[in-house]
Amino acid sequence: MADDNIFSGLKVVDLASFIAGPNAAVMLSDFGAEVIKVEPPSGDPWRHGHQIPPQPFSTDPYPWHMSNRNKRGMALDLKSPGAQQVLEKLVRWADVFIVNTPHPARKKLKIEYDDVAQWNPRLIYADLTGFGEKGPDADLPGFDITSYWARSGMLSMTRDKGQPPTWPVAGSGDAATAVGLYSAIVTALYRRERTGKGSYVTTSLLAEGVWAASVSIQGALCGAHFYGLHDREHPANAALNVYRSADGVWFVLIIMPDKVVAIAKAVGRTDLLTDPRFSDPAKLKTNMSELAAILESIFASQPMAHWYEVFSKIHVTFGAVRDPLDVINDPQLRANDIIVPLEGAGEKLTSTISSPIQVHGVAKQPARRAPGIGEHTQEILNQLGFSASDVDRLRAAGVIPNVRTAA
């Protein structure tokens, strides 16, 4: 099994909070990296994510386990003068150091790149920010909803005409950004294999959001014509629209030009192919709302199961809009190891979501519960070379908590 673990022997210090940074560390752990989660004695605030509306409420800290599985936990008060000696040992031990503390606070805590790279020139220092390292808003706090969604332009476009911006799915921008940060880390590790040198890598929620919205942002860069916000009754293209089946299921339909004839035959409306309102491109643009109304009527005549068979048979691209309770029962998820077992997190929390990267022939590490606050502090300190008396001294100085806090 050891040969199958791509990152076996890779040591990661996860000093980040909330979702994006910790999720990047989870991805490394999935492929065998050893990850130490470092938190303040009060814990990462994301431990309470399951109790913050509008996240789904639960008595189980499911967001915490999702973002911190397969890690050992260490509690450390970085504000304490004695913390630097522990930090130095951690940095010398580590291959990767992940941090998202705002830069002004990093300077005070002496955990900027220049502070720690002197201890380990082979270190991959992974920096995550809300708005980037430079610029007038570099020091502003940012969450995915503000930086990834709102500031990038995404939130302005993910709504229908006449509607205010909605509240996006919590953590969605963070999860995407985690993949970007993971990619930066892996790129730096490859560089280190070739040169022996460490790297300072970075991404931001803003950069990842603009990348996600890049089709539209690139259009804006070249002065392209924008059709405006989506209006399903008056769409820019009736072939790329949202419709509803007879049993009330909404679905997204994408009819590419090479499928127009096939779909017309499949729904029994070949007359639309020669209808003068739609057969001429100029007239089609003028009559797009009429075509959308006709398609709306057609699709409202049969249940989704019928359209699933119709669309699948002729290979037309579609997607039924599902809520989370539907998604978790989708057989595609377990067939492709998207949902996997979670060990040790409790009777209710027995499954979790795997990271989205698969390497054929390589088995990921089994998902195990996230640690309690400071659960492995003494074990880690001993591993780093601190004696029992050293640990007692650190505890007396308030560098580490006196009592291990429960999860």
The per-residue pLDDT for 407 is 44
Per-residue pLDDT of 341-363, as tens digits, reads 999 999 999 999 999 999 999 99
- The structure tokens listed for 158 are 């993910």
Q: What is the DSSP string of 76-93?
A: --TTSTTHHHHHHHHHHH
Q: CA torsion angle for 318, 320, 324, 327 (degrees, to 10)?
A: -70
The per-residue pLDDT for 5 is 83
The per-residue pLDDT for 403 is 61
- The structure tokens listed for 131 are 């708005």
Answer yes or no: is pLDDT of 241 > 50. Answer: yes
Q: Each residue of 240-257: b (16+ CB within 10 Å) or e?
A: ebbbebeeebebebebee
Per-residue pLDDT of 376-407, as tens digits, reads 999 999 999 999 999 999 999 999 998 654 44
The per-residue pLDDT for 4 is 66
Which CATH topology does 240-244+250-320 take? formyl-coa transferase, domain 3 (3.30.1540)
User: What are the backbone angles phi and psi of residue 255, rounded to the nearest 5°?
Assistant: -100, 105
**What is residue 229's DSSP assignment?**
S
Per-residue pLDDT of 155-200, as tens digits, reads 999 999 999 999 999 999 999 999 999 999 999 999 999 999 999 9
The answer to whether the peptide bond before residue 54 is cis (omega within 30 degrees of 0) is: yes
**11-14 and 96-99: which strand pairing?**
parallel
Per-residue pLDDT of 120-164, as tens digits, reads 999 999 999 999 999 999 999 999 999 999 999 999 999 999 999
3-state DSSP call for residue 341?
A: strand
The per-residue pLDDT for 61 is 96
Mean pLDDT of 41-50: 95
The share of the chain scoring above pLDDT 70, in percent, equals: 98
Mean pLDDT of 237-258: 97
How far out from the chain centre does Cα 223 lie?
A: 31
Contact 356, 179 (CB under 8 A): yes
Mean pLDDT of 254-282: 96
Answer yes or no: is pLDDT of 334 > 60. Answer: yes
Contact 369, 345 (CB under 8 A): yes
Q: How confident is the model at residue 6 (pLDDT cuts 50, 70, 90)?
A: very high
Mean pLDDT of 92-101: 98
**What is residue 147's DSSP assignment?**
I
Mean pLDDT of 233-261: 97
Quote the CA–CA distance of 266 and 120 in Å, as a whole number: 64
Q: How confident is the model at residue 104 (pLDDT cuts 50, 70, 90)?
A: very high
Mean pLDDT of 290-319: 98
Quote the CA–CA distance of 362 and 1 in Å, as a whole number: 9
Superfamily (CATH H level) for 2-212+331-396: Crotonobetainyl-coa:carnitine coa-transferase; domain 1 (3.40.50.10540)
Q: Look at residues 21, 204, 27 and name the one whose alpha carbon lies nearest to residue 98.
A: 21
The per-residue pLDDT for 1 is 39
- The structure tokens listed for 313 are 């048979």
Domain parsing of the chain, residue ranges: 2-212+331-396, 240-244+250-320
Quote the CA–CA distance of 343 and 370 in Å, as a whole number: 10
**What is residue 145's DSSP assignment?**
I
CB atoms within 10 A of CB 116: 22
Q: How confident is the model at residue 50 (pLDDT cuts 50, 70, 90)?
A: very high
Answer yes or no: is pLDDT of 233 > 50. Answer: yes
Mean pLDDT, the chain, integer: 95
Mean pLDDT of 234-245: 97
User: What are the backbone angles phi and psi of residue 238, rounded to the nearest 5°?
Assistant: -65, -20
Q: What is the pTM of this model?
A: 0.93
Q: How confident is the model at residue 272 (pLDDT cuts 50, 70, 90)?
A: very high
Q: How confident is the model at residue 251 (pLDDT cuts 50, 70, 90)?
A: very high
